[in-house]
């Protein structure tokens, strides 16, 4: 019994932390394998646990999992549709704080990055980040992968993805008038954005 107790060393990990190589461990709950380098990463903040494989299992790799130490909020995963608030825009990338995964709000801070090549599906080389997003914009995006520096890579390169809510300088919620423009209903001021298609 002493061995089992020794194995339960409590280690807290955060999203993006490497848990091991996929050739040596299996990804359990709260973990995933990155296909580009075959490493197993944590996808949420919590306690790392290593579970021994069943004695009769053909796969004798132990399973590594992360169990949340807080009440489980939603966790972004590749393929998840998220709602995020843009915090910073540079010439090549926009940063955003993820607020919801699907219909569920997150309880931890998750950061997302939208790279220039992931803004839209066409004319990628002509994308101007400053005409696509601005700080404070609320966007709908899909999670591509867990990127660098523990920020998720997000994409708005589908018609239904992009900016869903913008506040104008007059403090009004702007209305989309085309794929690339939103207008303030109060002042008539038009601003450029990568607009998400609403409905059908």
* pLDDT tens, residue order, the chain (200 aa): 444 444 455 678 877 889 999 999 998 888 888 878 889 988 877 888 888 888 888 888 999 988 765 555 678 888 999 999 999 999 999 999 999 998 887 877 889 999 999 999 988 989 999 999 999 999 999 999 887 666 899 999 999 999 999 988 888 889 999 999 999 999 999 999 999 986 54
How big is the chain, counted in residues? 200
Distance CA 18, CA 23 (A): 13
Query: Is there a shared CATH topology between the 2-68 domain and the 81-192 domain?
Result: yes
Query: What is 126-179 written as a DSSP string?
Result: G--HHHH--TT-EEEEEEEEE-GGGEEEEE--STT-EEEE-B-TTSPBPEE-SS
Q: Which of 187, 150, 142 is nearest to 17 (CA)?
A: 150
Residues 199, 192, 84, 118, CA torsion sign: positive
Q: Which residue matches tokens 């400053």?
A: 130
**Structure token pair of residue 132:** 């696509």
**Where exactly are the structural domains of the chain?**
2-68, 81-192
Domain 81-192 belongs to what topology?
OB fold (Dihydrolipoamide Acetyltransferase, E2P) (2.40.50)
Q: Which CATH number fits domain 2-68: 3.90.380.10, 3.30.460.80, 2.60.120.10, 2.40.50.100?
A: 2.40.50.100
Can you list the alpha helix ranges (DSSP code H) found in the chain? 2-7, 129-132
């Amino acid at each position: 019994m002493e061995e089992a107790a020794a194995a339960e060393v409590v280690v807290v990990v955060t999203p993006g932390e490497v848990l091991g190589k996929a050739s040596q461990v299996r990804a359990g709950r709260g973990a995933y394998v990155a296909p580009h380098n075959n490493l197993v990463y944590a996808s949420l903040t919590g306690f790392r646990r290593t579970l021994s494989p069943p004695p009769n299992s053909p796969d004798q790799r132990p399973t590594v999992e992360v169990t949340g130490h807080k009440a489980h909020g939603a966790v972004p995963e590749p393929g998840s549709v998220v709602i995020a608030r843009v915090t910073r825009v540079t010439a090549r990338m926009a940063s955003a704080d993820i607020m919801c995964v699907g219909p569920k709000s997150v309880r931890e801070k998750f950061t997302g990055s939208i790279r220039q090549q992931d803004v839209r599906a066409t004319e990628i080389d002509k994308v101007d980040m400053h005409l696509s997003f601005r700080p404070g914009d609320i966007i709908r995006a899909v999670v591509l992968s867990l990127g660098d520096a523990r920020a998720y890579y997000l994409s708005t390169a589908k018609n239904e993805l992009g900016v869903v809510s913008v506040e104008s300088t007059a403090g009004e919620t702007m209305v989309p008038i085309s794929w690339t423009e939103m207008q303030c209903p109060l002042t008539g001021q038009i601003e450029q954005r990568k607009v998400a298609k609403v409905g059908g």
